[in-house]
A and B are shown apart, each in its own frame.
Chain A
Amino acid sequence: MDENMAKVIFQPSGRRGLVPKGISVIEASRLLGADIEALCGEKRVCGKCKVRIEEGFFEKYGIDSKRSHVSPWQQKEEEKFINAADREAGYRLGCVTGIEGDLLVFVPEESRAGKQIVSKAARDILIEHNPAVKLYTIAVDKPSFEDPTGDFERIGKKLAEHYDLKDLKIDLQALRRIPSALREGDWQVTVSVWMDQEIIRVRPGKFEASYGLAVDIGTTTVAAYFCDLSTMEVIETVSMMNPQCKYGEDVMSRITYHMMNPDGLEKMSNDIIAGLNQLIDQAIQSTHPPKKKVKKKKDDKSPQEWVEVPQEGKTYLRLSGDDIEDITIGCNTAMHHILLQLDPQNVALAPFPPVIHHSLDIKARDLGLNINPSSNVFILPNEAGFVGADNVGVLIAEEPYKKDEVQLIIDIGTNGELVLGNKDKLISSSCATGPAFEGAQLAFGMRAAPGAIERIQIDPETHEVDYKVIGRDAWRKYSEPKEMKAKGICGSGILDVLAELYKAGVITKSGAFNKKGQKSDRFRKNPDTKFAEFVLAWAEETSIDKDIVITQKDVRQIQLAKGALYAGCKLMIRRMQMDKLDKVKIAGAFGTHVDREKALIMGLFPDCDIEKIVSVGNAAGDGCRAALLNREKREEANWVSRNVEYIELTIEPDFQREFMEAMQLPHMTDEFPHLEGLVPEEILHQK
């Protein structure tokens, strides 16, 4: 064996292989496909990548794993996250631990990058039917000695005659299919025409359906709606984690990765393209019956065979990648630039100019997407450096520019995006909410995956906690402790927890734990850190065998995030010289999960009538879908991207004061008349 290589096995995933000595455990996990959380992008600050280095000879794997096979303990970084007992047991941080010899590495459950549950389901919004790709079935005259004109011209002539489509161009790949298609179809063909300009597909015979994909690339999650372009039906919603997450949780760390690594941009771009191809494959597979393995005899060495097991009464479309003839993509400006390998550096430097605002039409094959190669990918336009095409998606889905009522639209993600206005004027802004709402940076924060606490209620009398985890319908109260298998707390739970802690008097208006009013043993000082914390789930209710707590520091992180959003909303309202809001719309990956009452209690935005708050879910994705199904939405997107006035909030003269005041619950000085009756008086009016 090459002495520069080491054998590494990850447990429990069982991923194994040879890796070059000297690389870190995290790098090895990536090479071998064992997923370890690295929320901070290996900046050695999140402590999520804890692993245990096993000691001894493991016969089963034929491996002699030793703790001396890794680089020495890094006191400064590791002691923050690994206590003495765990250190003794062999725990290390994957990002600082270098591999120097053969290893068996155990990845504890909390360090495993779980499969995310993304709830980005499509909503019913009214979309006019006018897709960019339309099908035309035509009968073409056979060539004769009298008229030996070329095949393409014969098709063009009929399209001009019957559908008034003139001067059509054709993509070379589609052209190559013409002669056989005409003859196979006995001179009847179905032609797919893009934007009345270009022929992108020619098939023999008559077809009535074509398909498209509307993709929303978020910093954390990617979701795609697989649509029938003729009926506008959403056939399937597919989603995944953004594979770039391994380079860092937020936009900034991705851009930094590009700045620090010469091939960083290309790598990240390739990863997202590969991710999109995975989604495309998932979408295609959903139109085929599920398959199962054919049972083989024990000594049968022939390759594994699969057999389809169709569900009874269900018809399957059985599509292939070629059948996807259109894609629209919306994403924030940084994701946009990285996808297209445009230098994203300046997007992150004041005054944050993007490389391009306008939308783009790019051949699918140029991007390397495995759909019909002649088809065009529509990339939605950008508004500004921090307000990207995803926000344009939100706008064309919600159409505030067509309404009289003044709407405030809050798109909560790793970056918060705000739009305010009506048909007369629209302004937009962004605020750095940070990844706190998505679970990063919190002691027990996690993504929306099974075991994540997504709903929380705290009894004001006893401070007892009831909660619900993803993957289990029954709340804690109706379950045995061991049935809960809680693992951490995700976005919607994080929104709940601040409101509940405040309403029950566990924390004061300032966000500090209430020293006098504690009613349970859930409040305590952490024996190791000596800092205050509150237990949400006891160890016996978890799958990680330790109490899930919310720490004072966690509360502070959430306060920072919500303060930024509130201050942003308030400054925008002031800029528009308004005194009331007609409607507040909350969008985002967990937009549909937001409890509007709790959002108001925690002061996510200024006071308003609860009835006027609506959740609009993944509006950015809906906007992409609208652009897929209605070509006029593409024009509209370009118009709106240049007609929304972007405001940089942080340079407003009193941003600092507004931000600071908005960190308190629900706010330091602003009144919240609509919370009367919802929050006990002595709490709402505490000093």
Chain B
Amino acid sequence: MEDARKEEILKKLAEAVVEFEEDVAKEWAQIALDEGMNAFEAIMNGLAAGMETVGDLYDQQEYFVPELLMSADALYAGLDILKPHIKQADVKKMGQVVIGTVQGDVHDIGKNIIKLMFDVGGFEVHDLGRDVPLEKFVEEQLKTDAEIVAMSAMMTTTMVGMKKVIEMIKAKNPNVAIMLGGAPVTQDVAELWGADGYAESAGNAVQEAIKMISQLRKLQEQD
């Protein structure tokens, strides 16, 4: 495939995500496959690159939650087509993530956005959903041996549950990285409770996750 054509396909995929055009994302994902493009490259340098732009726009306050979620829809639309064609050899196994909204909390929009980012980033995601009993995080981590546990809480009252989970997990397995997110969570709280990562808001979490994706892409490029 010519470089120019490749660039064009990647650009179209990225644009489809930024403009939240699901049909366009599907169309160009199919074109990428038909023309023999590497599916993993199409995802990382096309769809995910688009999401990176979306994250920037969110940061500049041009985009808001609806735009983020619509972009995510477009990304998933392309991803569904491309994912089955990823060659295992291409994927650097990024690791596993256990994710969920803590007990007592039923808000999960933020959690779903983060989950998407992990998905895109090539992580194997174990989504426990919402209102997750605290012990369940510990059990799932032990079962899967996941490297990251990501928890979200949207209410100050449920946030305190996170502290217990951190204690329980760190007691059993100090090497697990723990990420916290959600409106009431602050950097201080995260540090105080011994979490390894913190995301101030959905957008900030997107940024964090996108940084991870960017890192990943750089690693891929170096190969």
Contact = CB atoms under 8 A, between A and B. Distances in A.
Interface in B84-108: 103-108
Contacts of B156: 252-253, 255-256
Interface stretch (B35-43, B62-70, B136-144): B62-70
B101 to A, nearest CB: 10
Given A252-B157, A348-B158, A661 B106 contact: no
B158 A76 contact: no
Contact of B158 (A349, A512, A660): A349
B69 A512 contact: no
Most B CB contacts (10 A, CB to CB) among A44, A345, A657 go to A657
B207 interface: no
B116 interface: no
B31 interface: no
Contact of B103 (A349, A510, A552): A349
A639 interface: no
A663 B157 contact: no
B104 A559 contact: no
Secondary structure of the A contact surface, majority rule: helix
Nearest to A659: B109
A532 B60 CA distance: 9
B65 A648 contact: no
B61 A512 contact: yes
A76 B187 contact: yes
A512 B157 contact: no
B152 interface: no
Contacts of A43: 186
Contacts of B130: 651
B186 A512 contact: no
Contacts of B64: 510-512, 556, 559, 663
A316 interface: no
Interface string A76-115: 1000000000000000000000000000000000000000
Contacts of A512: 61-64
B136 to A, nearest CB: 14
Interface in A530-559: 531-532, 552-553, 556, 559
B61 A531 contact: yes
B61 A510 contact: no
Secondary structure of the B contact surface, majority rule: loop
A512 B60 CA distance: 11
Interface in A657-673: 657, 659-661, 663-664, 668
A501 to B, nearest CB: 14
Nearest to B68: A660
A656 B69 CA distance: 9
B160 interface: yes
B61 A256 contact: no
A43 B187 CA distance: 12
A422 interface: no
A255 B103 CA distance: 16
A319 interface: no
B131 A255 contact: no
Interface residues of A, number: 34
Contacts of A650: 106-107
Interface string A52-86: 00000000000000000000000010000000000
Contacts of B184: 252
A610 interface: no
A43 B67 CA distance: 29
A578 interface: no
A342 interface: no
Most A CB contacts (10 A, CB to CB) among B60, B61, B69, B107 go to B61
Given A552-B61, A663-B65, A349 B104 contact: yes
A650 B62 CA distance: 26
A458 B165 CA distance: 51
A350 B106 contact: yes
A661 B66 contact: yes
A660 B66 CA distance: 5
Interface string A38-58: 000001110000000000000
B168 interface: no
B141 to A, nearest CB: 22
Interface in A251-293: 252-253, 255-256, 259
B24 interface: no
A147 to B, nearest CB: 64
Nearest to A349: B104
B106 A651 contact: yes
A668 B156 CA distance: 31
Contacts of A663: 64-66
A649 to B, nearest CB: 9
Contacts of B187: 76
Given A255-B157, A349-B158, A350-B104, A532 B66 contact: no
B75 to A, nearest CB: 15
Contacts of A659: 109
Interface in A498-544: 510-512, 531-532
Nearest to B62: A512
A532 B106 CA distance: 33
B155 interface: yes
A568 to B, nearest CB: 14
A252 B155 contact: yes
Contacts of A45: 186
Nearest to B187: A76
A657 B68 CA distance: 12
A94 B70 CA distance: 41
Contact of B157 (A348, A660, A668): A348
A656 B109 contact: yes
B66 A349 contact: no
A511 B109 CA distance: 19
Nearest to A260: B160
A407 B156 CA distance: 34
Interface in B180-222: 184, 186-187
Contacts of A648: 106
Nearest to A531: B61
11 contacts: A43-B186, A253-B156, A350-B103, A350-B104, A350-B131, A350-B158, A510-B64, A559-B64, A560-B65, A656-B108, A660-B109
Interface of B: 60-67, 69-70, 103-109, 112, 130-131, 155-158, 160, 184, 186-187
Given A44-B186, A350-B131, A559-B64, 16 more contacts: A43-B186, A45-B186, A76-B187, A348-B157, A349-B157, A350-B105, A350-B106, A510-B67, A512-B62, A531-B61, A650-B107, A651-B106, A659-B109, A660-B109, A663-B66, A664-B66
Q: Top 7 nearest A-B pairs by Cβ distance?
A: A349-B104, A348-B157, A256-B156, A552-B61, A660-B66, A650-B106, A660-B69
